[in-house]
Each structure stands twice: as C-alpha cells, then as structure tokens.
C-alpha cells in the first residue's frame, strides 16, 4: 500500500491539470509571487474631500431652492406696501426683480443639485426638485405677465 503524495504535482506538458490544482505559468512568464502570510493590503483611501464637497453642494442646492419660497413670502408684504403707496411703476420693478432673482436662484439650485447628485442622491434630488419648482413657477409667472402686455 502506498501513501498518497500530499503535494500536488504538475502533470506532464500536454496533459490537463487536475481540478483545483494550479496550472503552471506559460512559457516565458514568471511564476506568480504572493504576499507573505499575515500581510493585508492597505484600505483604499477615503476621499473625504469629494464627499464633503458633494454634501456641501447638496445643502447649497436646498438652500438656493428654498430662497424663492422665502422671497415670495416676504414679497407679499412688499407688494402690499407698494400697492398702498399707489406707485404702479415701483410695483412692476419689484415684481420683475423678484421674478428674475427667483429664476436665477432656481437655476443655481438645479446646477448645484445636479453636481451633488452622484455623491448625495437624496439631498441633491431635493435641491433639484426645489430648483425646478422655483424655475418653472417663475417662468409661468413671467409668461402670464408678458401676455398681459400684449
């Protein structure tokens, strides 16, 4: 009775390798070298600057998207005071300034949200939604005022 060899041997050239055994390297290539036992590769470096930037852009887009809402609440009282003063020209100027400012801030919220969407999908999406709502509502408001001039 013979004892099996604990070390697997490579088959002669041209013969298939047994299942689970490592095949010898092809001619002209060096044998694979492995890391010593107990050695672990370093963990990948966490890019904290990109995640911080993404979060900052997401928060910025939410703040920019909220500005038109706050502005519209504030402008309600401003428009009321201007109407009571009787100056229709001042009312028109304040109306156009608030609409143009709301549209610009809404577009800024969309851009910041889109840039932050990859790293902070929820916050970036909220900023994009607020920006789109502000921009679309401002554009509809401007369309109605232009139709009034025709």
Is the whole model's pTM more than 0.75, yes or no?
A: no
Residue 75's CB: how many other CB atoms inside 10 A? Answer: 19
Helix (H, G, I), strand (E, B) or coil at 53: helix
Cβ burial of 137 (10 Å; 0-12, 13-18, 19+) is middle
**The predicted structure's pLDDT at residue 102:** 94
DSSP 8-state assignment for residue 13: T
Where are the chain's structural domains? 54-149
91 touches 148 (CB < 8 A): no
**pLDDT of 85 strictly over 90:** no
**The predicted structure's pLDDT at residue 145:** 81
DSSP 8-state assignment for residue 29: S
d(CA 124, CA 61): 7
- For the chain, the average pLDDT equals 81
- The pLDDT tens digits for 10-26 are 666 666 666 656 666 67
Q: 67 vs 6, which has greater pLDDT?
A: 67
**pLDDT of 150 strictly over 90:** no
The vertex-135 CA angle with 77 and 133, nearest 5°, equals 85
**The predicted structure's pLDDT at residue 136:** 94
**pLDDT of 144 strictly over 60:** yes
């Amino acid at each position: 009775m013979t004892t099996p060899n604990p070390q697997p041997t490579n088959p002669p050239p041209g013969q298939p390798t047994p299942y689970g055994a490592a095949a010898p390297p092809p001619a002209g290539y060096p044998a694979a070298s492995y890391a010593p036992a107990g050695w672990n590769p370093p963990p990948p470096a966490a890019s904290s600057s990109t995640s911080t930037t993404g979060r900052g852009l997401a928060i910025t887009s939410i703040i920019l998207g909220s500005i038109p809402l706050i502005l519209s609440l504030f402008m309600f009282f401003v428009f009321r005071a201007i109407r009571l003063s009787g100056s229709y020209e001042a009312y028109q100027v304040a109306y156009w300034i608030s609409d143009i400012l709301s549209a610009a801030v809404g577009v800024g919220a969309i851009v910041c949200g889109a840039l932050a969407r990859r790293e902070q999908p929820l916050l970036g999406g909220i900023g994009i939604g607020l920006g789109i709502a502000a921009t679309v509502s401002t554009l509809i408001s401007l369309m109605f005022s232009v139709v009034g001039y025709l």
